[in-house]
Amino acid sequence: MKALSLWQPWASMIFEFDHLGVPIKPDETRGWPTKVRGRVAIHASKRDDREIRSRYGLRLAPYGLRWSQFSFGSVIGTVEIVDCVPTHEIAVKREDWQLIWGDYRILGDDGKRRFAFVLRDPVKLQIPVPWTGRQGFFNVPDEVIRAAGGKI
């Protein structure tokens, strides 16, 4: 299965919902497009950044989350990528509280267009699986995901 690595708390927020069952992070925003569609594994990188902790820590409280709950350096779940669109096209369909979990600017710092991988059906693993992440998409064996109670 293809996998994608994200920093925390963005990786875990894919698997969280508001009180009405609406996904908190319905998109993964990147500075490059993808043709990958279908179910992919989400990997939480090892990076545990102090500045990110302080800036996003308070944003976790309304969801009953704490930084200590997050896994690092592990595959934490799977989700379907159903589309890839320019960020400005999808941003108008998102609530303000969803937009804080992605970079929806039209252009990145490098002057290139930004894209949103539109996500659906997130399923958190019963047990996070320690794994080494990589940039871009990389492979994790299906049996590893299955053994942790994941959806393929």
Confidence of residue 139 (pLDDT cuts 50, 70, 90): very high
User: What is the average pLDDT value for the chain, to the nearest integer?
Assistant: 94
pLDDT computed for residue 51 by the predictor: 86
pTM: 0.94
The percent of residues in the chain predicted with pLDDT above 90, rounded, is 83
Q: Is the pLDDT of residue 115 over 90?
A: yes
- At 64 the pLDDT is 87
Average pLDDT on 104-115 reads 95
pLDDT tens digits for range 73-100:
999 999 999 999 999 999 999 999 999 9
Distances, alpha carbon 73 to alpha carbons 21, 64, 99, in Å: 27, 22, 25
Residue 40 · residue 4 · CB < 8 Å: yes
19-23 long-range contacts, CB within 8 A, separation 24+: 22/95, 23/98, 23/119, 23/122
